Structure 1
Amino acid sequence: MEHLSRFENAALLHHYTDGIKCRVFVTTFAGAAQQWFNQLPVGAIESFQEFRSLFLHQFASSRKVQKTEFILFAVRQREDEPLKEYLQRFNTIALEVPAATQEVKASAFSQGLLDGDFFKSLAKKPISKFDAFLARAAITLTWRKLK
Structure 2
Amino acid sequence: MVELRQQVAKETLPTKHGIPFSEHIMMEELPAHFRAPSHLPAYDGTTDPAEHIYKFGNAARLHRYTDGIKYRVFFTTLTNSAQQWFDQLPAGSVRSFAEFSSLFQHQFSNSKKYQKSIISLFGVKQEDNKTLKAYVQHFNTTILEVPIAH
TM-score strictly above 0.5 = yes
Match in the other structure for 2:97: 48
Give the direction of change, closer, same or farther, for the CA distance of 1:15–1:83 in structure 2 (3 Å limit).
same
Match in the other structure for 2:72: 23
Query: Is residue 67–residue 97 contact of structure 1 (8 Å, CA) maintained in 2?
Result: yes
Q: Are 1:57 and 2:100 matched, yes or no?
A: no
Structure 2 unaligned spans of 5+:
1-49
Match in the other structure for 2:30: none
Tell me, in whole angstroms, the C-alpha distance in 2 between the residues paired with 1:21 and 1:79: 50
Query: Is residue 94–residue 100 contact of structure 1 (8 Å, CA) maintained in 2?
Result: no
Give the direction of change, closer, same or farther, for the CA distance of 1:44–1:71 in structure 2 (3 Å limit).
same
How is 1:59-78 mapped onto 2 (pairs within 5 angstroms)? 59-78=108-127
Residue deviations 1:53-79, cap 9 Å, x none? Answer: 111111122110111111112223345
Higher gyration radius (CA): 1
Tell me, in whole angstroms, the C-alpha distance in 1 between the residues paired with 2:128 and 2:103: 49
Structure 1 unaligned spans of 5+:
102-147
Query: Is residue 124–residue 139 contact of structure 2 (8 Å, CA) maintained in 1?
Result: yes
Greater share of helix residues, 1 or 2? 1
Match in the other structure for 2:86: 37
Q: Residue type matched to 1:99 in 2? A: I
Give the direction of change, closer, same or farther, for the CA distance of 1:78–1:46 in structure 2 (3 Å limit).
closer
Greater length-normalized contact order (CA 8 Å, ≥ 6 residues apart): 2
Query: Is residue 68–residue 100 contact of structure 1 (8 Å, CA) maintained in 2?
Result: no
Q: Report the aligned-residue RMSD.
A: 2.0
Equivalent residue pairs, number: 101
CA-CA distance at 1:99 after TM superposition: 2.4
Match in the other structure for 1:88: 137
Q: Are 1:5 and 2:5 matched, yes or no?
A: no
